[in-house]
Amino acid sequence: MPGIDGTQPHALDAFFSPASIAIIGASRDATRIPGILLAFLRKNEFAGEIFPVNPNYDEIDGLKCYPSIGAVGRPVDLAIVIIPARAVLAVLEDCAAVGVRHAIIISSGFAEEGGESVHAQAGIAALAKRTGMRISGPNAEGFYNAIAGVAATFSPTVDVRPGVTPLIATRKRIGIVAQSGGIGFAIYNRAKALGIALSYVISTGNEADLGAGAFFDFMVTDKSTDVILLFLEGIRDTDTFLAAAQRAAATGKPVIVTKVGRSSAGGRAAASHTASMAGWSAAYDAVFARYGFIVSNDLDEAVAIAAVLTTSPLPKGDRVAVVTVSGGAGIWGADAVSAQGLRVPELSAPVQAVIRGLIPSYGSPRNPVDITAQAVHSGGLQKTIDLLSRSDEVDSILVVISLSSETRMPFKVPELKPLIDARPKPIVFYSYTLPSPFARTGLAEAGVVILTGLTHVGVALRQLVRHARFRLASDAARDAAPGAPVPAIEAAAWSEYDSKRLLRDAGIAVPDELLVDDRTKLPAAVAQAGFPLVMKIQSPDIPHKSEVGGVRVGMASDADAQAAFDDLIAAARRHRPDAAIQGVLVGPMANKGVELIVGTMCDATFGPMVMVGLGGVATELYRDVVYRPAPVGAAEARAMLQSLKAWPLLDGFRGAAKADVPAAAGVIAQLSQLAAHWREAVAEIEVNPVLVHPEGQGVTIVDALVVPARKEAVSAP
């Protein structure tokens, strides 16, 4: 039933906020994981009931200990299982029999070991499906619910030291989902040191049942989680993950993601450039881009981004004011944000005049604003920040300052706090000296997180601007399925002629060309096409014709065409004597245009992908490519084009005519929809080059390649 605020409860609410917990395999030894689990639950003042389960004890730490889960005789919301792997499945059966709703398997020795252990993990997955009990793990590190004090983990990061008050600087909270227990709790550990509040951190383990997508979905719907951090190795519950990503993007909840495993070889034997250029993580990056995820490949950088997101409103633009007490540090700060593509504009004369009245004569009011150390003591620092927070000349403020003192604060916290509480724009604090605990604690009272990595600060400000600008593409345009029938697979490969015929039948405009399989038919084909001509060898066994000398352009006479025909056949037989030669494709030369490559491929995790990049023979050299999950609509296709480094070539670079971008976007959208529609029959589609002509003149698909799917290789998400 709906909660107090009218929202529907999430299926994992009782998992993260259980009323009762059983520790199966509990121990009196507080130096071992089973004992640590119990100790941390109690130290964090878990408010529910705790049931230790171990037949070797009558009681543990003053709690009655039960010989089995069946002997508890009371409702159990969560069972934490830490026993030898060989006994886990039987204990889970017992849990299901008495109605335990959720379980975390801390025990190792399953799929991560290979061999028979894989089958044991499969048994856990089958049990969860059969009984409805939701299971996290095995080989998990558990979770921590900081709001309710549920420390269902053995991570030392949740230990409670007597007399130590946690540093809390933010009202907003981060939630962490990690496919590595150590890294997930490391993120929490570093965030806690800065004073960033936590909602939940979860280690997903081997994901026999509950996967990263399920926990991500919980964080997206959870009202106490304001920013989500994901640490991913690979997604298993793809549909759940994508639905959560869509919901996060639609509601504007920021997601910071780190994807590891990028250096692994993809293992993809591809016929097209589209697939051969796709890195191991290209599909992940495409998904992240579609849903506006903030990608970070550095732990401290990710935490710095989280700090800025939890302490800042979204900026209206990319103009940054740098306020400093040290001229050199201020210049360095300005360089750092400028390096991220942000602007540090000179302030107007009226604003400079006001600042001039707040600082010594040897300071600078221009931007960076150097108030000097003397102005700190006169209140000029805080007054300048207050002035700039109300100015419409800048969108964010970077305060560059030294906070090493153990006795003096450059701000009066009671006066700073209202400014921070009411801030209409981001105000980010960077200390070029190591901040003292005194400074961290004092400024935390005002809601300030102190950052110490200047490059990370610059990245965080850029990502804040990017997040503010992100708009989720509409589903409606990209979900339109083409009416083209799914092609029947009758051959292992198709030639350009076969591929273009397939695309034409699907409604995609391709040039009028003729296949000449006999030299006597060449004059008629030449007469129909008209000069100048392009002639290309056709064989399903030669996907890249230029590599065998299989292309001739600019044929201007019958004699040229006849000679080219003979040369093309001879070259193909010389380079590929076993190739099945269909003949020579004859067609008119296309008008000039910007060369693009548009292609699709099928990813094992996320299914069909569409790619666009700088085309022609230099495609693989420059690798200026952008991927998105297929299908895409015209608006998302245009955004892909605008993401290319080569975008200026389409947008009228150095006075050239602007290209027909709507036509190019249309081809991208059409091919992406075909890829989604033909996902079971087609592995790859590539059109390269696509010549994009000036505005209003459309595009020409010069070459095309469609690669049939091998049935054993087809993988849908």
CA separation for the pair 218, 223 (Å, rounded)? 10
Cβ neighbours of residue 310 closer than 8 Å, sequence gap 6 or more: 170, 171, 172, 173, 174, 196, 197, 226, 227, 449
Please, what sign has the CA dihedral across residues 625, 626, 627, 630?
negative
Nearest to 706 by CA among 481, 505, 483, 477: 505
CA separation for the pair 673, 654 (Å, rounded)? 34
- What's the whole-model pTM score? 0.92
Tell me the β-bridge partners of 174: 198, 227
3-state DSSP call for residue 203?
Answer: strand
What radius of gyration do the chain's Cα atoms show?
A: 31
Instruction: Give the tokens for residue 196.
Output: 């960033």
Ranges of the chain whose pLDDT falls below 70: 1-7, 263-280, 475-483, 489-490, 617-618, 711-717
Nearest to 125 by CA among 53, 68, 29, 208: 208
DSSP symbols for 299-323: HHHHHHHHHHHHH-PPPSSSBEEEE
Q: How far is CA 348 from CA 355, 357, 394, 614, in A?
A: 11, 15, 11, 42
CA separation for the pair 418, 27 (Å, rounded)? 50
Q: How far is CA 693 from CA 538, 553, 555, 663, in A?
A: 26, 19, 22, 9
> Is the CB of residue 110 less than 8 Å from the CB of residue 138?
yes
Return the pLDDT at 319. Answer: 98
Nearest to 638 by CA among 505, 514, 515, 477: 477
Cβ neighbours of residue 181 closer than 8 Å, sequence gap 6 or more: 140, 141, 142, 153, 155, 203, 205
> Is the CB of residue 23 less than 8 Å from the CB of residue 104?
no
3-state DSSP call for residue 206?
Answer: coil
Give me the phi and psi of 444, to 5 degrees please.
Answer: -60, -35
CA separation for the pair 349, 365 (Å, rounded)? 9
> Is the CB of residue 158 less than 8 Å from the CB of residue 202?
no
Q: How far apart are the first and last CA of the chain?
A: 32
3-state DSSP call for residue 464?
Answer: helix
CA separation for the pair 529, 337 (Å, rounded)? 56
CA separation for the pair 360, 366 (Å, rounded)? 14
Q: How far is CA 465 from CA 252, 302, 480, in A?
A: 13, 15, 32
CA separation for the pair 44, 618 (Å, rounded)? 60
DSSP symbols for 50-81: EEEE-TT-SEETTEE-BSSGGGT-S--SEEEE
Q: Which DSSP helix (H) or strand (E) runs through 477?
A: helix 475-478
CA separation for the pair 231, 258 (Å, rounded)? 5
Instruction: Give the tokens for residue 480.
Output: 């339109």
Cβ neighbours of residue 88 closer than 8 Å, sequence gap 6 or more: 81, 105, 107, 120, 124, 138
* Sheet with 450-451, edge to edge strand ranges: 369-370, 320-324, 396-401, 427-431, 450-451
Residue type for 123, please? G
SS3 sequence of 499-562: HHHHHHHCCCCCCCCEEECCHHHHHHHHHHHCCCEEEEEECCCCCCHHHHCCEEEEECCHHHHH
Nearest to 593 by CA among 640, 655, 657, 513: 657
CA separation for the pair 706, 271 (Å, rounded)? 9
Domains of the chain by start residue, with CATH: 13-301 (3.40.50.720), 313-469 (3.40.50.261), 512-588 (3.30.1490.20), 594-713 (3.30.470.20)
Beta-carbon-side half-sphere exposure of residue 245 (alpha carbons within 13 Å): 27
Instruction: Give the tokens for residue 558.
Output: 């019958």
DSSP symbols for 78-91: EEEE-S-HHHHHHH
Return the pLDDT at 97. Answer: 98
> Is the CB of residue 172 less than 8 Å from the CB of residue 227?
yes
Residue type for 28, please? R
Return the pLDDT at 55. Answer: 97
Nearest to 487 by CA among 470, 503, 476, 471: 503
Instruction: Give the tokens for residue 650.
Output: 């389409």
Q: Which DSSP helix (H) or strand (E) runs through 430?
A: strand 427-431
Return the pLDDT at 477. Answer: 59
> Is the CB of residue 299 less than 8 Å from the CB of residue 258?
yes
Please, what sign has the CA dihedral across residues 258, 261, 263, 266?
negative
Nearest to 599 by CA among 683, 662, 659: 683
3-state DSSP call for residue 130?
Answer: helix
